[in-house]
Amino acid sequence: MSNNFTKVENPVLVVEGKQADNERLKAESDYLRGTIKEDLQDRMTGGFTSDNFQLIRTHGMYQQDDRDIRAERQKQKLEPLHNVMLRARLPGGIINPTQWLAIDKFADDYTSYGSIRLTTRQTFQFHGVLKPNIKLMHQTLNSVGLDSIATAGDVNRNVLCTSNPVESTLHQEAYEWATKLSEHLLPKTRAYAEIWLDEEKVETTEADEIEPILGSNYLPRKFKTTVVIPPNNDIDVHANDLNFVAISEGGKLIGFNVLVGGGLAMTHGDKGTYPRCADDFGFIAKEDTLAIAAAVVTVQRDWGNRVNRKNAKTKYTLDRVGVDTFKAEVEKRAGVEFSESRSYEFTHRGDSFGWVEGIDGKHHLTLFIENGRILDSERADFDGKTLKTGMREIAKIHQGDFRLTANQNLIVAGVAEADKAVIEQLARDNGLLNDGVSNQRKASMACVAFPTCPLAMAEAERYLPTLVDDVEAILEKNNLKDESIILRVTGCPNGCGRAMLAEIGLVGKGPGKYNMYLGSDLAGSRVPKLYKENVDEAGVLSEIDALSARWSAERNDNEAFGDFVIRAGIVEQVIVSFKDFHHA
Ligand code: SRM
Ligand code: SF4
């Protein structure tokens, strides 16, 4: 549920104080160029130095090293094995077969993990690209019409769009808005083209190049935008700063309800940080979409906290200045007034697997990809599956496109009747389609965490498959075999696996230790509440066993687990003020 509108007396619109160092480095970066070009030539180190370490993020890359071998290299007095992770920009998650074949080959030839990793924000990542291959990577992407501009850093990130292949007309319109929003809010600097694609520097006066929306210092913090088509909240609106909820009449889009200020991250032990649901600002006609988006972004740009990065996201700005004040400023800047929200309902999240037929007569096959990891691997949890080969073979013959979902899965979309059988066979032969996958596994998700994420405190992706094995056994024992609980694991409280919108959310605290949160709902409109702290893996299982036994015995008809734990008083519902999240 959305929190009540807050009115703050004498709001502090701009936080005074010593600005965070990221503000200096953005200001000195010459519109995101820094000295990345020079740094790229420096082969004394596999990493990027000083400010470039941060600046490459705005070009879609993070410097990483393999944490499994970090200590060993340290012992041998070697520099960490620096490499970059790349995150592509893919508005609405749509990628065509030619593009797929190009990224498939790059992953084989130039990444140390050999995988394509689908993310919780409808795009893919390469992990383990060495410095000498970075430019080639961008040029490869560019050759097939892809880029990685602004998928990280203090900018508007990859714009999400509900992966709804069935209602093709509405989806097409929503997807077009996601693409327009992505382009409209993209940095206008030519830094990416100059550094990675060797394009000439076009001499401009500073005034020409000023970023009209993002500003010369870009945003105070990352910013996330979605277009969502009810009743499926598959993109989890409450994880995002700005959401356009599609309102349609007769299958045609007429406008959007606008939800502002969601976000999930917090820091253990810092009560000034908290997950927060987005507020509903009201309805706008679709023609006003870009003006409203620009206004929300510029209000956050001007009022967001540039002193403390932990309180810099839109959700904190709303709570500091008051939702009414923020909304009024958006209306003023856009020259648009919100009208009363149109009614809509989110009934579910997650993806529906298998074949569906769209209203245009085309067929769409949603594949469950555990953890979004597309790999051919001997890894035990892969059981000899050749997901990467399977996807390559499908891409070679597929005439439609692929749609990445915000739940790390993939849709083979737009398949003609005549091609269905061969695509299904390829999917089955390579482990991409398996009728035996349980509802519980399909409802489970984890972030990347170890070995690549530098911020991981506990395992997530590598823990999930066996955790789900155990949870499946527990559910069966408690007569809940075909039921499922939305179960999400994140390796730290940043919340990349969206555990803070799960019915059971496990948030990494330390090696093998998790804080356990309970009580989101099927529609993803409720933040769960802390149930137990610092639980080890055995403890997690015994808690799930006890809780699911109660759920099985005491639930009302079809009552979902998250609703049950609140009704039964096992945890309280977080309702009014998210600022009090840690206290109740
Ligand atoms: Fe995330 C940082 C992975 C979705 C909140 N996230 C990271 C980094 C880049 C670690 C770092 O800063 O060095 C992780 C890289 C791991 C790796 O090795 O790949 C990382 N985040 C991911 C992905 C790949 C998780 C996944 O398993 O799919 C998701 C990529 C999304 C994308 O394609 O753009 C991902 N991250 C999210 C989400 C979920 C969402 O947006 O739906 C969240 C919570 C929502 C939110 O923003 O509130 C999220 N990631 C964070 C944060 C906390 C931000 C904050 O508000 O404080 C960080 C850390 C930071 O920014 O300082 C972070
Ligand atoms: Fe890394 Fe934490 Fe995000 Fe997981 S939640 S990917 S551990 S930053």
Question: 224 catalytic, yes or no?
Answer: yes
Which of 221, 441, 492, 498 is an active site residue?
492
Question: 222 catalytic, yes or no?
Answer: yes
Q: How far is the CA of 458 from the centre of ligand 2 (A)?
A: 9
pLDDT score of 376: 94
- Nearest residue CA, atom 13 of ligand 1? 454
Question: 277 catalytic, yes or no?
Answer: no
Tokens of 143: 């050759």
Q: How far is the CA of 183 from the centre of ligand 1 (A)?
A: 21
Ligand 2 atom with the smallest distance to the CA of 449 is: 7
On whether the CB atoms of residues 190 and 213 are closer than 8 A, the answer is: no
Would you call 53 helix, strand, or coil by DSSP? helix
Question: 447 catalytic, yes or no?
Answer: yes
On whether the CB atoms of residues 437 and 366 are closer than 8 A, the answer is: no
Answer whether 155-350 and 440-580 agree in fold: yes
Ligand 1: lining residues by beta carbon, under 6 Å: 62, 64, 85, 87, 119-121, 123, 125, 151, 157-158, 222, 224, 236, 239, 263-265, 313, 372, 408, 447-448, 452-455, 494-498
Mutate to test the pocket of ligand 2, among 490, 514, 517 (most ligand atoms within 8 A of CB): 490
Q: How far is the CA of 501 from the centre of ligand 2 (A)?
A: 15
| Helix ranges (DSSP H) in 378-534 | 387-397, 420-429, 439-442, 464-477
Q: How far is the CA of 455 from the centre of ligand 2 (A)?
A: 6
Ligand 2 atom with the smallest distance to the CA of 491 is: 7
pLDDT in tens, the chain (584 residues): 444 566 788 888 999 999 999 999 999 999 999 999 999 999 888 899 889 999 999 999 999 998 999 989 988 998 889 999 999 999 999 999 999 999 999 999 999 999 999 999 999 999 999 999 999 999 999 999 999 999 999 999 999 999 977 777 898 999 999 999 999 999 999 999 999 999 987 766 665 568 999 999 999 999 999 999 999 999 999 999 999 999 999 889 999 999 999 999 999 999 999 999 999 999 999 999 999 999 999 999 999 999 999 999 999 999 999 999 999 999 999 999 999 999 999 999 989 999 999 888 999 999 999 999 999 987 666 677 899 999 999 999 999 999 999 999 999 999 999 999 999 999 999 999 999 999 999 999 999 999 999 999 999 999 999 999 999 999 999 999 999 999 999 999 999 999 999 999 999 999 999 999 999 999 999 999 999 999 999 999 999 999 999 999 999 999 999 999 999 999 988 654 566 666 54
pLDDT score of 3: 43
Question: 161 catalytic, yes or no?
Answer: no
On whether the CB atoms of residues 203 and 230 are closer than 8 A, the answer is: no
Q: How far is the CA of 488 from the centre of ligand 1 (A)?
A: 14
pLDDT score of 10: 84
Q: How far is the CA of 262 from the centre of ligand 1 (A)?
A: 14
Which of 26, 87, 320, 513 is an active site residue?
87
Question: 453 catalytic, yes or no?
Answer: yes
Identify the CA nearest to 95 among candidates 384, 492, 412: 412
Query: pLDDT digits over 515-548, tens only?
Result: 999 999 999 999 999 999 999 999 999 999 999 9
pLDDT score of 379: 66
Sign of the torsion angle spanned by Cα atoms 85, 190, 222, 443: negative
Place of tokens 């619109």: 13
Mutate to test the pocket of ligand 1, among 54, 274, 496 (most ligand atoms within 8 A of CB): 496
Identify the CA nearest to 446 among candidates 473, 468, 470, 474: 468
Q: How far is the CA of 461 from the centre of ligand 2 (A)?
A: 10
Q: Which CATH class is domain 440-580?
A: alpha beta
* Spatial separation of the C-alpha atoms in residues 44 and 385, rounded to whole Å: 39
pLDDT score of 251: 85
On whether the CB atoms of residues 466 and 423 are closer than 8 A, the answer is: no
* Spatial separation of the C-alpha atoms in residues 5 and 282, rounded to whole Å: 12
Which of 117, 373, 385, 453 is an active site residue?
453
Ligand 1 atom with the smallest distance to the CA of 406 is: 42
For the chain, the domains span 155-350, 354-412+419-429, 440-580
- The CATH number for 155-350, chosen from 3.30.413.10, 3.40.50.1970, 3.40.50.20, 1.10.10.60, is 3.30.413.10
Mutate to test the pocket of ligand 1, among 494, 500, 501, 507 (most ligand atoms within 8 A of CB): 494
Ligand 2: lining residues by beta carbon, under 6 Å: 447-449, 453, 455-456, 460, 490-492, 494-496
pLDDT score of 357: 93
Ligand 1 atom with the smallest distance to the CA of 448 is: 27
- Nearest residue CA, atom 15 of ligand 1? 453
Give bridge partners of residue 282 from the DSSP assignment: 258
Question: 492 catalytic, yes or no?
Answer: yes
Average pLDDT score over the chain = 94
Sign of the torsion angle spanned by Cα atoms 526, 527, 530, 536: positive
Question: 157 catalytic, yes or no?
Answer: yes
CATH fold label, 354-412+419-429: Sulfite Reductase Hemoprotein; domain 2 (3.90.480)
Tokens of 335: 């020259």
**pTM of this prediction?**
0.96
Which of 157, 373, 498, 529 is an active site residue?
157
User: CB-based contacts of 206: which residues, under 8 Å, 6+ apart?
Assistant: none
* Spatial separation of the C-alpha atoms in residues 460 and 540, rounded to whole Å: 13
- E-assigned strand segments in 193-234: 225-228
